[in-house]
Structure 1
Amino acid sequence: MDTAIGSRGAEVLRGKRVVLVGRWASMPRRDVARLVRQHGGVVLQRPDASADLIVVGEEDLALAEGLDREPWYDRRIQGAVDDGRLEVITETAFWQRLGMVEAEQGAHRLYTPAMLAELAGVPVAVVRRWHRRGLIRPVRQVLRLPYFDFQEVTTARRLAELLAAGMSPRAIEKKLKGLGRLLPGVERPLAQ
């Protein structure tokens, strides 16, 4: 996917002091930093209260546990957030602001692998394996970051239930291939 952003995205970044933290799922952090600089933003190396925006990568997103567990989230940063001088957003929210991903619209919410893993109760690595093997399919992809719809949440939960019941990933894949042969008109049996 092209990383060029429109004028709206350029306005979002122009003159902003941006910090990129965590591992990014969509592209290497250095490429994101280059994109920010190309559109008039200043990339800071470490989080501090002088930043305008801190963007948290979603490769292994742990924000569900709370920002206060992040080592970089100190009292000065908390104060800047409370005062409205600093904003902390996720990688997906960042791409939405730049116009590269549509904002969530009601039932059409999209889920990153980290979000899907949390909803299914499995590690992110398991979700990535399911994606690589074609057991779950993204409805869209921004750079390297896949986005899944609610149907895939349901499929992921069913896969997680099979794992919890003691089936190995290989056995699950074998059974699904067998179902595919028995039900040729059904492309994805777990999604039904």
Structure 2
Amino acid sequence: LRSFSRKEWESAEKIDGQHTLQRTVLEEVLVKEKAKPMSFTGKASSWITSAVTKSVTEKASNTILYAAVAGGLGILGVFIYLLAREFLAEGSPQKVYSKRSLQFYSALALIRRDESCQELFGPTIAGYGEETSRGRRRHVAHHEYQKDGKQRIRVLFHLKGERNEGIAQAEMEQQDGKWQWRFLYVETKIRPKTTHVLIDNR
């Protein structure tokens, strides 16, 4: 009887162990199933939504950036065009007055290189236009007219050096599509006034 009872006890203990093992495996499976935050379809849907939102945001940002760049380039192009038309146009006052031009030395460059002008005004000669109400001296007084069927332009600007101040007058005439000097002279302001002629093709 004692032997039989012991066998039954061992058998019952073995069965309980198997049941416990089965419950443990089953519980792990159930816990894993409950721990899943969403199904595969839910994950895919969330990923697609996030990707679409990100793509739309990037496209909008790129569009704004491209529009800003295009606008900036357009403004820059207009500015360059106006600047070129103002300073490089044939016969413009700035072309006669400017430091250099595409086809000839400017009046100011000729004056600075002239030894007689250096004796009158000093080794360093500055040139500037009429002073405006804002205190700027960029405007060059000029006059355009036609004579004998030829276009002419005359400019007047101020000179200043270490020794003296004065004015310069220059005139050009268009001949066969090219601008030629008619005259260029300077005159000091301080008495006794002195006039020096650099070019006279009249």
TM range (shorter): under 0.3
Q: Structure 1 or 2: larger strand share?
A: 2
TM-score using structure 2 length: 0.20
Larger Rg: 2
Task: Considering Cα pairs closer than 8 Å and 6+ residues apart, tell me whether 1 or 2 has the greater RCO.
Answer: 1
